[in-house]
Chain A
Amino acid sequence: MTDQHSTQRSRHDEFLAELEAGISDPVHKRLIKAYQGNDPTTSMESELKAILLEILQRED
């Protein structure tokens, strides 16, 4: 059963890895990397927040 669960998990991770590999935009790459946990939308939202704050706080 654990193996089966791991298989499912790895399939999910495979999809994300394949998706990330096909993305060139660094912002989108970061968002896909942030896709994790039980609430991936919130996780991606947090990453987008961080990206926007970085722009806001950038000094150069």
Chain B
Amino acid sequence: MKIRGVTICGIRGFSEERTLHFDDRLTLIAAPNSYGKTSISEAFELLLYGVTSKVESATFSKEEYKGSYRNRHLTQSSPAFVEATFLDAGSEIQLRVEIAADDSFRKFANGAEVPQWPFAQRMVSATKPFILQHALKYLLLVGPDERFKGFARLLGLVDLDRIQTNVVSLCTKPEAAIPQEVQKLVNDVDALEARLEARPSLSAIAKFLKKGSKALKQTYQAVALECTQRVPYGTPKESVLPQLLKIREEAVGKILKERLTLAIYSDRETTLSNADEQFLLSVITDPFIEKYVKLIALGLVQSVLDKARFFGLGLKFLKETEGLCPFCGQTVSEPLGVHIKLTHESFEAERKLHAGLEKEQGDVLQSLTDLSTRIEAYHKRQQTKVADFLEVEKSIPKLKPIFLPKYDTHWAAVQKAFDELRPAKASLNTAYGVFTNALDKVKSSIAESKEDAAFVRTLGECLTSCIAEARQLRKLVSDHATPVSEADAILKHELDILAGTEDIGVLIDLLEHRKEIEKKFHIEDVLEGLKGFRRVVDQFVGNKMLNAVSSELTADVMEWYGQIRTTGDPDVHFSGFDMERTAKGDLKARRVQIKATSYGKDLISAASSLSESKLNALGLCVSIATNLKGETPFGFLIVDDPIQSWDAEHEIQFIEVIRKLVERGKQVVLLSHNRKWIDQVRAGCRSINGCFYEITGYSVAGPHIAERPWASWKQRLNEVDAILKDQNADNVKLQQAEEEIRIVVAQLSVDLYRKRRGVEKSPHDINSDKARKILVECGVDTGLIDRITQTFSTTDDAHHASSDYAAHRQRIQRYAGWANELVQLVGG
């Protein structure tokens, strides 16, 4: 993509609309400081990225910049936009961005609003095509992490940076990934270790346990040894734990038998309760109520159904008694038998009509039975959960002195658990009682054929209320389980102290919780292992970055740095990029090193040793090298004031860099406050024949931009003359001469127009037709107009260097003569 032109309006220093055309190779813009030069590069930043690098790199208070893109003199409704035309793969594309008063952006591509640019994906990994003076040294002078990020961005290694950042985040702060139950296990085992360490008699075990998983076997050998010393001699191995438990229970039981047991809900319990709730809440629905209400009809036909059953039974028995009534034993005459049979058939037909209703009654009753069974189990599960704990409440007088005053917070937690769980359990019981009454009422209504929708609705409300109470109880259990469990551990410990069974208590816990201890070690190993994981990722990312900066980037940057350095420089120079290493030789994480040498000796810190101008040059070279590297949709480079703090010799050297960039196919837009240097650039790149603008003044409306000739027509005609006199001038030289004549003719035409009509025109888009029109309007002799316009027939080919173009010395001589005729009119 190359820039054809841009119109800026209402942006930064541009209050009114300004349009600039760009040469496809080199455009120079000279302006004193504060004349809106940087606003031009910022307009392109806003157009392409929606943000300026100045705002983007602001480390604090981006709010300060809010609203700063729009020109301050615009009214709310005035348009602020940047519109540029680019040439992309042979096609023109017009991009326009509009910035509203609230800083919102709207994008348009070829007139249609778009959410993002058509080449947005190609922009992601591409280096921004801007070399801005305030960003040049940025990479070199920031902290290590910022520098690393900057290099990753420049080298297209942002993914690596992200991978490392994310892994480091996990490895340094894994707390968020430790589930509550895992943390509880770790805390419990830690508490046991603390109790063990507090027992001098068990120090041998403590010593091994401290060594972690690798000494677990020795730990339990030491535990076994200690245990055998505390049980009767000859106790079999498998009886050691029961024996210890018995000793402890006997001793502790003399003081207190109760324990504070309030276990956290297991996954199984939670799953069961959730499934129960889901089922229970799905029973009393509108279809169910409808089905239940329909059963009223069953009451109306009940007598018919009963009679059908009665007759059916009678007929069955009549077959067995052969002509005798099965109920009274009298003879049943044939007509009576027929009558009984017909009556039964009639009732049976009626019964069949209502068979569906009977089935529905059966379904409703089954649903109610299922509901009853399920809620009973659900209710029992919640009740049982707190029953043991609440049972202990009556032992408060014994418990309280064990906790107080030393463990007042734990005691307060236990007390709070009692105070909240007791009424919650009672409320659940009440709700359950109300529910069962409502259920009985519904069942009775069916039995008595007195169905009433209000009964079932009440049942549904009671059910919801019962579940709500159960949920509250579940929540309270979850809230109190951990503090109660901690209080229980203290109780156990204090009882051991009172009973003199501390050693035995610790040994029992070590034996009972061996699995937990193993798991805790395993968990610790995994968490500790994250450090190793981080090291592996650090080295991987470090090596990738090392490869990119030392082999690829260093060579590229050195190439450009070599262009800028001068022979008169003190020999203190940038010598390459590297990654810092530890004393062991490992790569330090995220430490890109900038190396410099002084007369052959490595310097400690390049950033602090290199002069301002050299850092500036290095930053510039890094930007250039990375801009030329990798895939990018941009064929242009906007370079804003690159030569600040440079001496004259470096300034001259940099002109060659500009030239090389153009030769490599980059369209360069160069802005500078230094008019003299810009003139030197024009002279140094004379044959490029680019565009040159000068900002000559500044007002509320914006900068006054004047287009200047790359070279004067006098210079150009002198060059043409010199080429024509050179008998050895080759085709290339002659083509250059013809191209110069094209530019001279265009320039002279607009100069004449300005002189005679007082109107400025751009010489850049002058062709044969336009030149004719201008010259006609200026009253030029028709013969000269014909001759002048004739030059375009071949100078256009010279300019575009078409394949069938052939330079012709005599033709160019003729053209030069005609151009000189035009010079006379302009008054040269």
- In the complex, what's the smallest C-beta–C-beta distance from B568 to chain A, in angstroms? 44
B118 within 8 A of A: yes
Residues of A contacting B179 in the complex (Cβ-Cβ under 8 angstroms)? 49, 52-53, 56
Residues of B contacting A23 in the complex (Cβ-Cβ under 8 angstroms)? 533, 536
- Counting chain A CB atoms within 10 Å of each CB, which of B118, B160, B526 scores highest? B526
Q: Are A55 and B159 in contact (CB under 8 A)?
A: no
Residues of A contacting B174 in the complex (Cβ-Cβ under 8 angstroms)? 45, 48
B599 within 8 A of A: no
List B155-182 residues whose CB lies under 8 Å from chain A. Answer: 159-160, 162-163, 166-167, 169-170, 174, 176-179, 181-182
**Which listed residue (A25, A44, A58) contacts B170, Cβ 8 A?**
A44
User: Measured between alpha carbons, how far is A19 from B164 in the docked complex, in Å?
Assistant: 11
List B166-200 residues whose CB lies under 8 Å from chain A. Answer: 166-167, 169-170, 174, 176-179, 181-182, 185
**Which listed residue (A4, A12, A28) contacts B122, Cβ 8 A?**
A4
Residues of A contacting B631 in the complex (Cβ-Cβ under 8 angstroms)? 4
Q: Are A15 and B159 in contact (CB under 8 A)?
A: yes
User: Measured between alpha carbons, how far is A51 from B631 in the docked complex, in Å?
Assistant: 41
Residues of B contacting A56 in the complex (Cβ-Cβ under 8 angstroms)? 179, 181-182, 185, 519, 523
**Which listed residue (A15, A28, A49) contacts B163, Cβ 8 A?**
A15
User: Measured between alpha carbons, how far is A12 from B122 in the docked complex, in Å?
Assistant: 16
Q: Are A31 and B533 in contact (CB under 8 A)?
A: yes
B296 within 8 A of A: no
Closest Cβ neighbor of A13 among chain B residues = B159
Task: Count A-B contacts at CB 8 Å.
Answer: 93
Q: Are A45 and B170 in contact (CB under 8 A)?
A: yes
- In the complex, what's the smallest C-beta–C-beta distance from B114 to chain A, in angstroms? 13
Known contacts A2-B121, A4-B121, A41-B170: does B526 contact A52 (CB below 8 Å)?
yes
Closest Cβ neighbor of A59 among chain B residues = B515
Residues of B contacting A4 in the complex (Cβ-Cβ under 8 angstroms)? 121-122, 124-125, 631
Q: Are B159 and A1 in contact (CB under 8 A)?
A: no
Residues of A contacting B162 in the complex (Cβ-Cβ under 8 angstroms)? 40
Q: Are A25 and B182 in contact (CB under 8 A)?
A: no
Mask of A1-40 contacts with B, CB within 8 angstroms, 1/0: 1101100100110011011001101011001000100001
Residues of A contacting B125 in the complex (Cβ-Cβ under 8 angstroms)? 4, 8
- In the complex, what's the smallest C-beta–C-beta distance from B83 to chain A, in angstroms? 23
Closest Cβ neighbor of A27 among chain B residues = B526
Residues of B contacting A5 in the complex (Cβ-Cβ under 8 angstroms)? 121, 124
Residues of A contacting B176 in the complex (Cβ-Cβ under 8 angstroms)? 45
Closest Cβ neighbor of B125 among chain A residues = A8
Closest Cβ neighbor of B174 among chain A residues = A48
B532 within 8 A of A: yes
Q: Are B169 and A41 in contact (CB under 8 A)?
A: yes
Q: Are A58 and B159 in contact (CB under 8 A)?
A: no
Residues of B contacting A28 in the complex (Cβ-Cβ under 8 angstroms)? 529, 532-533, 536
- In the complex, what's the smallest C-beta–C-beta distance from A57 to chain B, in angstroms? 8
Q: Are B533 and A22 in contact (CB under 8 A)?
A: no
User: Measured between alpha carbons, how far is A8 from B120 in the docked complex, in Å?
Assistant: 13
B60 within 8 A of A: no
B311 within 8 A of A: no
Q: Are A22 and B170 in contact (CB under 8 A)?
A: no
User: Measured between alpha carbons, how far is A8 from B156 in the docked complex, in Å?
Assistant: 9
Q: Are A8 and B523 in contact (CB under 8 A)?
A: no
Known contacts A12-B159, A31-B170, A41-B169: does B529 contact A1 (CB below 8 Å)?
no
Residues of B contacting A2 in the complex (Cβ-Cβ under 8 angstroms)? 121
B119 within 8 A of A: yes
- In the complex, what's the smallest C-beta–C-beta distance from B86 to chain A, in angstroms? 16
Q: Are B529 and A27 in contact (CB under 8 A)?
A: yes
Residues of B contacting A25 in the complex (Cβ-Cβ under 8 angstroms)? 529, 532-533
User: Measured between alpha carbons, how far is A56 from B524 in the docked complex, in Å?
Assistant: 12
B455 within 8 A of A: no
B698 within 8 A of A: no
- In the complex, what's the smallest C-beta–C-beta distance from B30 to chain A, in angstroms? 37
User: Measured between alpha carbons, how far is A8 from B160 in the docked complex, in Å?
Assistant: 12
Q: Are A22 and B522 in contact (CB under 8 A)?
A: no
- In the complex, what's the smallest C-beta–C-beta distance from A15 to chain B, in angstroms? 6
User: Measured between alpha carbons, how far is A25 from B177 in the docked complex, in Å?
Assistant: 19
- In the complex, what's the smallest C-beta–C-beta distance from A19 to chain B, in angstroms? 5
Residues of A contacting B118 in the complex (Cβ-Cβ under 8 angstroms)? 1
Residues of B contacting A45 in the complex (Cβ-Cβ under 8 angstroms)? 170, 174, 176-177
Q: Are A11 and B159 in contact (CB under 8 A)?
A: yes
B288 within 8 A of A: no
**Which listed residue (B122, B160, B167, B177) contacts A49, Cβ 8 A?**
B177
Residues of A contacting B544 in the complex (Cβ-Cβ under 8 angstroms)? 15
Q: Are B182 and A48 in contact (CB under 8 A)?
A: no
- In the complex, what's the smallest C-beta–C-beta distance from B112 to chain A, in angstroms? 17
Residues of B contacting A8 in the complex (Cβ-Cβ under 8 angstroms)? 121, 124-125, 159
User: Measured between alpha carbons, how far is A25 from B528 in the docked complex, in Å?
Assistant: 13
User: Measured between alpha carbons, how far is A8 from B194 in the docked complex, in Å?
Assistant: 53
User: Measured between alpha carbons, how far is A18 from B540 in the docked complex, in Å?
Assistant: 9
List B534-556 residues whose CB lies under 8 Å from chain A. Answer: 536-537, 540, 544
Known contacts A15-B163, A56-B182: does B540 contact A22 (CB below 8 Å)?
yes
User: Measured between alpha carbons, how far is A48 from B177 in the docked complex, in Å?
Assistant: 6
Residues of A contacting B536 in the complex (Cβ-Cβ under 8 angstroms)? 19, 22-23, 28
Residues of B contacting A18 in the complex (Cβ-Cβ under 8 angstroms)? 540
User: Measured between alpha carbons, how far is A16 from B118 in the docked complex, in Å?
Assistant: 29
User: Measured between alpha carbons, how far is A17 from B289 in the docked complex, in Å?
Assistant: 59
User: Measured between alpha carbons, how far is A8 from B126 in the docked complex, in Å?
Assistant: 11
User: Measured between alpha carbons, how far is A16 from B178 in the docked complex, in Å?
Assistant: 24
Residues of A contacting B181 in the complex (Cβ-Cβ under 8 angstroms)? 53, 56
Closest Cβ neighbor of B526 among chain A residues = A27
Residues of A contacting B160 in the complex (Cβ-Cβ under 8 angstroms)? 15
User: Measured between alpha carbons, how far is A54 from B125 in the docked complex, in Å?
Assistant: 40
User: Measured between alpha carbons, how far is A58 from B185 in the docked complex, in Å?
Assistant: 13
Residues of B contacting A15 in the complex (Cβ-Cβ under 8 angstroms)? 159-160, 163, 544
Residues of A contacting B533 in the complex (Cβ-Cβ under 8 angstroms)? 23, 25, 27-28, 31
Q: Are A1 and B177 in contact (CB under 8 A)?
A: no
Mask of B333-354 contacts with A, CB within 8 angstroms, 1/0: 0000000000000000000000
Residues of B within 8 A of A (CB): 118-122, 124-125, 159-160, 162-163, 166-167, 169-170, 174, 176-179, 181-182, 185, 519, 522-523, 526, 529, 532-533, 536-537, 540, 544, 631
* 19 A–B contacts, CB within 8 A, in A order: A1-B119, A4-B121, A4-B122, A5-B121, A8-B159, A12-B159, A15-B163, A16-B163, A28-B533, A35-B167, A40-B163, A41-B169, A44-B166, A44-B170, A45-B170, A52-B182, A52-B526, A56-B523, A58-B519
Given contacts A40-B166, A44-B170, 15 further A-B contacts (CB under 8 A): A1-B120, A8-B125, A11-B159, A15-B159, A22-B536, A25-B529, A25-B532, A28-B529, A45-B174, A48-B177, A49-B177, A53-B182, A55-B522, A56-B181, A56-B185
5 closest A-B pairs (Cβ-Cβ)? A48-B177, A45-B177, A1-B121, A12-B159, A28-B533
